[in-house]
Amino acid sequence: MMKRLKKLFKKLTLQRTTVLIIVFLILSGILVQRIFSLQIIHGQEYADNFTIQTTRTRTLKSTRGNIRDRNGNILASNQLSYSVTLEDNGDYDSTRKKNLSLNGEIYKIIQIIENHGDSINHDFHVVLDEGNNYIYDAEGFTLSRFKADVYGKSSIDDMTSKEANASAETLIHDLMLRFGLELEKDEKPYSEKELREAGLPTELTKEETLKIITVRYALFTVSFRKYVPVTIATDVCEETVADILENQKNLQGVDIAEDSIRVYTESEYFAPLLGYTGKISSEELAELRTENPDGEYSTTSIVGKSGLEKVMESTLQGKDGSEKVYVDSMGKVLEIDEKHTKEPTQGNDVYLTIDRDLQIACYKILEQKIAGIVAANIQNIKSFEVDDNTDASTIPIPIYDVYFALVNNSVLDINHFGAEDASATEQKVQQVFERKQQEVFQQISEELTGKDPAAYKDLNKEMQGYMSYIVNELLMEKTGILSKTAIDKNDDVYKQWTTEESISLQEYLTYAASQNWIDISQISDKNTYLDASEVYQDLADFIATYLTTDTQFSKMLYEYMLLDDEISGKDLCIILYDQGVLSKEDGMYESFLEGDITTVDFMKQKIQNLEITPAQLALDPCSGSIVIVDPNSGETLACVSYPGYDNNRLANNMDTAYYQKLNSDLSSPFYNKATQERTAPGSTFKPITAVAGLMEGVIDDHTSFNCNGHFTRLPGGELDCWELSGHGSLTIRDGIKNSCNVFFSETTYRLGENSDGSFNSDTALQKLVNYAKMFNMDKKSGLEIPEAAPQVTDEFPIPSSIGQGTNNYTTSQLARYVATIANSGTSYNISLLDKTTDSEGNLLEDFTPEVLSTLDIPQWIWDDVHAGMEGVIKTPGNQMVFGDLQVSLAGKTGTAQQTKSRANHGLFVGYAPADSPQIALAVRIANGYSSTNAEWVVKDVLNYYFDLKDESEIITGQANQVGVTNQENN
């Protein structure tokens, strides 16, 4: 029985195994058939249809709101454009292959972009200077935050000392190692084959290296988020778009995106107000997320970087949308899921109180007058020495200063003098420069390393200039190698260098090295101990190397080349044509070359025609400001800062070369002259002194003082009236009218006079300060853009009473002050903002300037002040300016001295019509010699505003020399 059961079991097992084998054979056959069908029969079809493998949600960028003037004219808007984006979505076998592949691809993309005249975005704080050196374009917190981001630190405090103090050269070297543009010493160098296959040259220039690093760094900043592209070029042309799309299959992760760019109309006139936009920084991102928790800011957001663009960021910024898309393995979009699309919302519009046409007219009027002052003061002399006895009104502009300004303020590109395509004149000048450079370097070398260096006082003026530059500019300011904090200013050797000038530069720096005043880490990479002599030798080598590429030092050489007539002003003027600064079709080119017009007359004519502007020359004067306010509402109608700049070149894809030029421009276009430049108010302050005297009862409207030209009760000295022959007997109205220093000095003396007739300076000062504060002169004007804090005087009450002392105010603060006088006591926080609306024009918020305070001053005192200011306009000197003006005006002139070595500032504050003011205004021409020159600006502004003359008579496009004077007019 058991044997039968075993046989049956074996038979069943064999049958099951057979069935299992058969089943496996059938399944295998099916599998082979399926694979054959997939790969052979339908392989191409499936390959073509393959790629729907990744679903992404991508951002739909919103557009910013527009900025408009009070009449609805567009000042800032958006324009549709195309951008090149890149996403690091490739797969790599190793870091080496990733770096080669990415760097090669970026290099190819950059070539495509630049071949069509476009450029990559430069959202990176390292740039190349004129000497082809890596430098930072930021400082302070911004620079520290940038370094922390580069080194991957969440906080500035987390950086090591080495990271925090890294030079631009060091930081770039570190990134070259990180991104595989340079390899560690123990790594195998890239072979020619590897570089060729990656599409990279065997050697990259510093400019090419910086561009690749800029893109790699942009990718690095979003590396923590998958499938996030970065924009590497903005507003590219159609040719670039076509070329990128044509090569897209060979360029992993590259794409073209529809975008919008910020466009500023009439940019030069409004840039100091509007500012510009740019890619958000890490500190801005953190700040905006804190301020706007509901905002949708990301690392790729475009935000306001300065001006009203920054101030009104949350209003102007739109809300991004999103869409769900399907992409292939190369990142190419195959399909958009319309059901999951959220449309973006445009930002809100901002309306300003500014009148566009008035703003532009004021700017042009100001430029014309400043150019007229410059042209009128040019003299055919090489130089002018200023001493303690020099009258500021007599300081001329030597023509050689004008020639040098073409070099000094980079109107001419001196680096192009040595370029392959340099003109014959450029080459001639370059040869002279190289010879001069060699001679000077030899002399400096002898002073640094020779056996018998000369004491500073025994050097000629030129060599003294070079020695001072090396110590003060190169070693202390630019590099910090000679540490300001380490120097012992009580040291005898330090005094011998700085005060006695009895030792040589070699002696001073050798001693500095022995005293550890030299930061050796910046000039030597040696790890061993160096004694003082070795430190000094490294320092001397560093100085010699640095100076060869130091553009600022090269400009010093050009100055002496001009003064020594080694090159001529005519050479530089010809180069103006060669470099395209001037047009050869100007009708003067041929006659100038042939000598029919002198170089002096040529330059004057170009300034007269505004073909060369005061801003380009950056000589005194080269800047000015105008602020116009409606005294009945506090609205600001114009806020002009000259010179301006083209903020279109800073928004979107920043033109870094242009930014660097603006940043180093000696006319300081980034410095808002209306809101940030402070000077003494001069005699424009006297109405406050008048109010103080009347309110305190030390004078009344019948009090009279006799002015004989001198105030002799000044403690410690004598104060002269500007009219040295004296004004005679004056009441308060006459005192204001004639701007009598003696009258206001006597008034201030009485403010501090004790019962026994003695003078208490502190009492007088405190009373004067109290009334300045009553006029809110201790507060900012209220304008929404950055403004310097005012400084109410804190010493010298009598000089302070006539606008000197330590009084310092911006033009905007003076405008608010005179508006308060115009309306008899209502002091506004003046404003630039009118209203905001949504994109459809629906009102969201209406801004009304805040009344800061109402001055409790009797009307009879206001009547005295108003009458005095109306009288100012009727004086014989001022009637030469305003005699034919067809609108009544009240005002106060002011001439403020800042230093005896430069021309005085010219100021004017006033309002019109005098009996029913519609506008109040303040004008300042820094170093404009006389307030009379500011008065001529006011006259043109009033003629324009009240439509008293045809615009073509006022704005001529020519320098305005009418009435230009250097004579003081208080």
From 278-292, 555-569, 733-747, the region with the lowest mean pLDDT: 278-292
Q: Three-class SS string for 263-292?
A: EECCHHHHHHHHCCEEECCHHHHHHHHHHC
pLDDT given for residue 530 in this prediction: 59
- Percent of the chain at pLDDT > 90 equals 76
pLDDT given for residue 11 in this prediction: 60
Span 91-125, pLDDT tens digits: 888 999 999 999 999 999 999 999 999 999 988 99
Name the percent of the chain in helix, strand, coil, to the closest 5.
45, 15, 40
**Euclidean distance between CA atoms 203 and 209, whole angstroms:** 9
Span 212-236, pLDDT tens digits: 999 999 999 888 776 678 999 999 9
Q: Does residue 273 or residue 187 have the better pLDDT?
A: 273
List the one residue out of 66, 580, 112 whose CA is nearest residue 308: 66
> Given a cut of 70, is residue 82 above it in pLDDT?
yes
Residue 672 CB neighbour total at 10 angstroms: 28
Read off the pLDDT band of 156 (50, 70, 90): very high
> Given a cut of 80, is residue 246 above it in pLDDT?
yes
pLDDT given for residue 538 in this prediction: 87
Q: Does residue 214 or residue 13 have the better pLDDT?
A: 214
Residue 763 CB neighbour total at 10 angstroms: 14
Q: Three-class SS string for 489-558?
A: CCCHHHHHHHHHCCCCHHHHHHHHHHCCCECHHHCCCCCCCCCHHHHHHHHHHHHHHHHHCCHHHHHHHH
pLDDT given for residue 405 in this prediction: 99
* φ/ψ (deg, to 5) at 327: -125, 160
Span 518-554, pLDDT tens digits: 988 777 665 555 577 888 888 899 999 999 989 999 9
Dihedral through CA 304, CA 307, CA 309, CA 315, nearest 10?
110
**Euclidean distance between CA atoms 270 and 96, whole angstroms:** 49
List the one residue out of 272, 127, 292 whose CA is nearest residue 213: 127
Read off the pLDDT band of 51 (50, 70, 90): very low
From 49-63, 390-404, 690-704, the region with the lowest mean pLDDT: 49-63
Strands (DSSP E) found in 560-682: 624-629, 636-642
pLDDT given for residue 83 in this prediction: 94
- Helix ranges (H only) for 378-480 are 399-408, 424-449, 461-468
pLDDT given for residue 48 in this prediction: 53
> Given a cut of 50, is residue 435 above it in pLDDT?
yes
Q: Does residue 54 or residue 934 have the better pLDDT?
A: 934
Q: Please provide the average confidence, as pLDDT, over all residues in the chain.
A: 92
Dihedral through CA 333, CA 336, CA 340, CA 342, nearest 10?
80
pLDDT given for residue 142 in this prediction: 86
Read off the pLDDT band of 25 (50, 70, 90): confident
pLDDT given for residue 52 in this prediction: 45
pLDDT given for residue 18 in this prediction: 66
pLDDT given for residue 5 in this prediction: 54
Burial annotation 720-739 (CB, 10 A radius, 16+ → b, else e): ebbbeeebeebbbbbbbbbb
**Euclidean distance between CA atoms 944 and 950, whole angstroms:** 8
pLDDT given for residue 861 in this prediction: 98
pLDDT given for residue 226 in this prediction: 64
pLDDT given for residue 68 in this prediction: 99
The mean pLDDT value for 448-460 works out to: 95
**Euclidean distance between CA atoms 37 and 181, whole angstroms:** 47
pLDDT given for residue 91 in this prediction: 82
pLDDT given for residue 23 in this prediction: 67
pLDDT given for residue 331 in this prediction: 58
> Given a cut of 80, is residue 15 above it in pLDDT?
no
Span 817-826, pLDDT tens digits: 999 999 999 9
pLDDT given for residue 529 in this prediction: 57
> Given a cut of 80, is residue 333 above it in pLDDT?
no
pLDDT given for residue 43 in this prediction: 62
Read off the pLDDT band of 53 (50, 70, 90): low
> Given a cut of 80, is residue 37 above it in pLDDT?
no
* φ/ψ (deg, to 5) at 770: -60, -40
* φ/ψ (deg, to 5) at 644: -100, -160
> Given a cut of 60, is residue 430 above it in pLDDT?
yes
The mean pLDDT value for 711-733 works out to: 92
Q: Does residue 609 or residue 713 have the better pLDDT?
A: 609
Read off the pLDDT band of 325 (50, 70, 90): confident
List the one residue out of 671, 659, 619 whose CA is nearest residue 409: 619
From 189-193, 455-459, 731-735, the region with the lowest mean pLDDT: 189-193
Span 655-671, pLDDT tens digits: 888 999 999 999 999 99
Span 130-150, pLDDT tens digits: 778 899 988 888 899 999 999
**Euclidean distance between CA atoms 644 and 623, whole angstroms:** 10
Q: Could you tell me the sign of the dihedral formed by the alpha carbons of 576, 579, 584, 586, in that order?
A: negative
